[in-house]
Structure 1
C-alpha cells in the first residue's frame, strides 16, 4: 500500500515563551499542503528501509522510530518493508521527517487493521516529534503547546503557494537559542484565525508573521534577502515556514507561479508549486 506524507507550512508562528521543562510554548496556524513524499509500506520477513534519496536509516530516522513506536505500543509481531520516495527537502521547516513518521503510523494502522482513531495516533506521535501530531491529522489547525494541542478549523483560503528552499538549512536548536523575545515579532494568532474563518484577506494578510524569522535571518542572511526579492516579485505575502530555511509565497496569480517555476530567478534555490490540501 502507499501513503502520502504531506508537507506543512506555518501561516503564522509565535514563540510565546520558554518553558521550565526546556521546551518552548508555541502558538501557530498550520496548513497541510498537497506537496508530499510517497511511502510504500508492505509486510516483509524482516524490517527493510529504502529510499531514492540518501538518508541514514538509524535510530534518528523518523520512519524507523515510527515503526518501533507502533510495534512497541501495540505489540506487533509483523515486520515491514518501507520505501520512501523523498520530495520534501530537509532543514526546510516543512515537516518532512514528521510527515514521513505520520504516514508510517497511518499505514501500519491500516495494514494491520488496528482501527486506531487519528486522535490517538496523533497523541502517540508526539513521542517522535512536535510536528507529528499535526501531520497525522492533516487539517488546517490552530496549534499550541509544543505542537500537541491541535484545533482544526476551516479557513477561507484560495491562494496558490510557491515554496522556495535555499541551499543552506537552519538548525532548529540554533534558531531557538538565538531568539530574542523582546525584539522578535509576535503575530496575533487569534485575530488571524478569526479573519481566516471569515475570509477577510485584507485583515489577516498584513498580520501574518513568524517569530523565528529574526534568528533565522541572522543565521542565514540569504533567507531575508530572498523574502525581500519575493515580495518585490509580486507575491501577496511571503513568510518563512517553521524554523526555516524554506519560504512560501502566496498569490492568486497563476501566471506568476508559472513564470517563477519556469525561470527560477532565485539563485541557489529550488522552487515548488503547491496548494492547500483539502
Structure 2
C-alpha cells in the first residue's frame, strides 16, 4: 500500500517572544497559517523492519536527523509497531527557510502512518506526539490558522484569514534559528499587536491584518543578514500590501490582494532572487481520512 500526503508550509502573521523559560526555550505567542506551498510525502511499506528516507535534495538528511524519520520512529516505539516504511520526500518548500518545511514533513508522516499502520489516533493525539518532535509539528498536524503559545506546541484554532495572495522570496542563504534567538534582546523589542491581529482575522479585516503584521525576530535577522533586508525593501517598493519575515527567516513574504500586482512583484523579485513563489493561504484545518 502507498499513501500520498501533502505537507503544506506555514507563515507567521505575528510572532512575539515573551521571555526565556527555565528549560532554555523561549515562551512565544504566534499566529500561524498554512499556505498552498507543499512538499509531497509518499509512504509505502517495506518488508524489513526499518525506516528509509528517500530524497533527492542534498540538504535533506536521510537519517535520524530528519524529522519525518523521527516521527516514524516515535510511532513505532510508542505503539510497538514492527513494520518498516519508506518515506519519500519531494521538496517544494525551501529548506531552512522559516516556513516549517521539516516540521510539516513530520506532521504529514504522522498523519499518513496513522492511516497506513491503522493506529487509529485522533488528530489531537497526533498533535501531542508531534510536540515531542519539534515546536511547530503540533501546529502542522492540525494546519489551518491558530494562535500558538508555549514553545509553539500549544495550539488554539481561530478562523481563516480572508483570501489573498502570498508572495514568498528566499535568498540563497541559511539562517541559524539558535543564533537569532541568542542575539535577541527582549528588553529592546517592540511587541506586535497579537490580540489586534486575532480580531482582524476573525472579522476578515484585510487592511487590519496588513497593519498588524509583526515579528520580533525580524530586526535581529535583518541586522545579521543584509540580503533579507534588501528583499524586504524591494518587496515593499514593488507594492506588497504588507511585508514580513516568516519565523527566524530568511524567507520574506508579502500579502497582496490583487493578482495583477502579485505578478508585478514576482517578476521584480525574480530579477535578483532565485526562489520566488506566489501562493494562496489555505487557512483551513487538516482532516484525517
Q: TM-score range by the shorter chain?
A: over 0.9
Alpha-carbon contact 2:238-2:268 (below 8 Å) kept? no
Which one is further off, 50-59 or 204-213?
A: 50-59
Alpha-carbon contact 2:239-2:265 (below 8 Å) kept? no
- For 1:1-278, what aligned pairs fall within 5 Å after superposition? 1-46=3-48, 47-54=51-58, 55-262=60-267, 264-277=269-282, 278=284
CA-to-aligned-CA distance 1:153-197 (integer Å, 9 cap, x gap)? 113412111110011121000000000112222101111101210
Taking structure 1 as reference, are residues 266 and 217 closer, same or farther at Cα in structure 2, changes over 3 Å only? farther
CA distance in 2, matches of 1:227, 1:266: 14
CA-to-aligned-CA distance 1:42-88 (integer Å, 9 cap, x gap)? 11113322112122212211121111011011111110011111111
Alpha-carbon contact 2:40-2:89 (below 8 Å) kept? yes
Q: What's the secondary structure of 2:214's corresponding residue? A: coil
Alpha-carbon contact 1:170-1:219 (below 8 Å) kept? no
Which one is further off, 3-12 or 47-56?
A: 47-56
Q: What's the secondary structure of 1:15's corresponding residue? A: strand
CA distance in 2, matches of 1:91, 1:81: 23
How big is the shift at 1:98? 0.2
Q: What's the secondary structure of 1:182's corresponding residue? A: helix
Q: Name segments (4+ residues, structure 1) moved above 4 Å.
A: none
How big is the shift at 1:266? 4.8
How big is the shift at 1:263? 5.3
CA distance in 2, matches of 1:257, 1:202: 17
How big is the shift at 1:202? 3.1
CA distance in 1, matches of 2:157, 2:9: 16
CA distance in 1, matches of 2:151, 2:75: 22
CA distance in 2, matches of 1:249, 1:202: 13
CA distance in 2, matches of 1:231, 1:3: 35
Alpha-carbon contact 2:238-2:264 (below 8 Å) kept? no
Alpha-carbon contact 1:155-1:198 (below 8 Å) kept? no
Gaps of 5+ in 2: 285-289
Q: What's the secondary structure of 1:216's corresponding residue? A: helix
Taking structure 1 as reference, are residues 33 and 156 closer, same or farther at Cα in structure 2, changes over 3 Å only? closer
Which one is further off, 250-259 or 65-74?
A: 250-259
Gaps of 5+ in 1: none
Report the TM-score, using the length of structure 1 for normalisation.
0.96
How big is the shift at 1:262? 4.3
Taking structure 1 as reference, are residues 260 and 170 closer, same or farther at Cα in structure 2, changes over 3 Å only? same
